[in-house]
Structure 1
């Protein structure tokens, strides 16, 4: 993620759509890329009550007592793009604290599904040692969590220049094919002991909301077709009554109200999910030249991590 947004939705959008600096490595070593300017938010500052304020989303994460329901603590592998890059430490802490999970993350900013496929070679932003199949063979995870925004511009080399603005149906067809191929490679690498794949649904896209809706639909279809799971993290950062309407700020959840560090405007009962100059990412710290896990408390990241943790907990309990 965090690269040029070639959405083709008008000169004003394109000029403001230089995405969101800091491509780089996942701590264990990747490429460091220069930061790009971040776009000004294009939408309203508030759009109603958050889906994360519903009773099933108020808890910080599944409690540690839930781990007693499992035969063993789950082992979780987390792969993805810049959203996963900024989420990875918070998710790891929630999985460990709530489920006693063993955890490995290897996200790379700017990536999409094809970057984690074997055979993409120099056209991939992910080195061979961190391809999904290689990590599955090395880690033997019980769950592989995949979080990808669905980069739709021409930056990701392995997409072969297929972009959403120039060839929408071809973009979706390719994205669905890559999802199937990635599942196949993960399963082949795992052998008989296949992991459950958790597809993370994305939050609202203020520029092309239908694109994210369709990408999420592809994830849901792939989960149904291959005994996967879905974590609707995007609902936790959307208004309760408008799943695909973008908002910079939403009402504080019960947890955020009790923990003021996560309720950025306690006097108004609202909290910031995005910085005012970055409508895509959820880290409230400025972007840097080198990608990193988010270094500050950020309500949006915490909400999404809790949704992913619940999906893993539900899968482990079933």
Structure 2
């Protein structure tokens, strides 16, 4: 079924399972339930799992005192986020390894927002304690923590306490800014603070055809927080926007030089244009159909590679 994204509730249900935004007329009461996003979002089994037992104060201090492994020059990167990170994670990992020789860990959860990764959200979070940002920083000791969040705007994740963009816009932005500050603080504190703390990479989002001003303001929050706490901005959203208008949503764009040289990423080579989105999903960049259980994107998708390449560039230039 390939109906346009404006076609109705079916598309909205699929988007919700992945962090969608139903539109400027929606409310939190409109949100249907999403199947088992937590199980679907667990990191690959081959990666070491941090302990599920919350660390004691002694354990926390030992982790903070432990110096980060600085042998060699390859950065260690931790990638957290919502369904956009879920679909991007394998491509980003491949690029970070091939371009920068990076060590890499990802732990995205679909449907989440910043507060889900905070330590103090408990049972109201879609992220288990062992995968909270601070817990993973203590376990992994990364050089960079990449945060990619669309900005869940319609009350799906419980930790937002029902605050939605539609019902209370200023309250939504105030809460989002407070959560960005709190998350940055917890990440730095988990690493012991000081010069050895990881740098946070705030990924700016692409255009939203339904609530364009929301994305502008969410991106501005990320930029402000990066300035305030020594972070980095990766403007991945620009890579999936027209050159003439950073905040204009489009389904297709002209192929880049890389996409032209690698035809699998140029979906309409005769017109030198490539698809960023499926016709029935305005939000995600995976060109495979959305499934009830979230997953890394299983097919070559130009938008995902563009986003991952910009994140890799930002990490590389700051290393």
TM over 0.5: yes
> Where does the alignment leave 5 or more consecutive residues of structure 2 unmatched?
1-15, 45-70
**TM-fit CA distance, 1:288:** 1.1
2:237–2:307 CA contact under 8 A, matched in 1: yes
2:37 alignment partner in structure 1: 23
- Superposition deviation, residue 26 in structure 1: 2.6
C-alpha contact 1:5 1:19 (8 A) present in aligned 2: no
Displaced runs of 4 or more, over 4 A: 17-22
Summarize the Cα distance change of 1:19–1:266 in structure 2 as closer, same or farther, 3 Å threshold.
Answer: farther
CA distance 1:155–1:223, shift in 2 (3 Å) = same
Q: What TM-score do the two structures reach when normalised by structure 2?
A: 0.81
Aligned residue pairs total 274
Q: Which residue of 2 aligns with 1:88?
A: 89
* Partner of residue 276 from structure 1, selected from 260, 279, 288: 279
Residue 125 (structure 1) aligned with residue 140 (structure 2): no
Equivalent residue for 2:25, pick from 5, 9, 12: 9
Provide Cα deviations, 1:274-318, integer angstroms capped at 9, x if missing partner.
0000000000000112111000000000000000000000110xx
Partner of 1:112: 113
- Whether 1:256 aligns to 2:259 is yes
The 5 Å alignment of 1:210-249 reads 210-249=213-252
Return the offset for 1:261.
Answer: 0.2
Contact 2:125 2:158 in 1 (8 A): yes
TM-score (norm 1): 0.82
Counterpart secondary structure, 1:89: helix
Taking a change above 3 Å as real, the CA distance of residues 21 and 308 of structure 1, as seen in their structure-2 partners, is farther
2:295 corresponds to: 292
How far apart, in 1, do the equivalents of 2:182 and 2:283 lie? 27
Find out whether 1:267 has 2:277 as its counterpart.
Answer: no
Match of 1:308 in 2: 311
Give the structure 1 partner of residue 156 of structure 2: 155
Q: Deviations over 1:31-83 (max 9, x none)?
A: xxxxxxxxxxxxxxxxxxxxxxxxxxxxxxxxxxxxxxx95100000000000
SS in structure 1 at match of 2:271: coil
Distance 1:118 1:95 in 2: 28
Backbone CA RMSD of aligned residues = 2.3
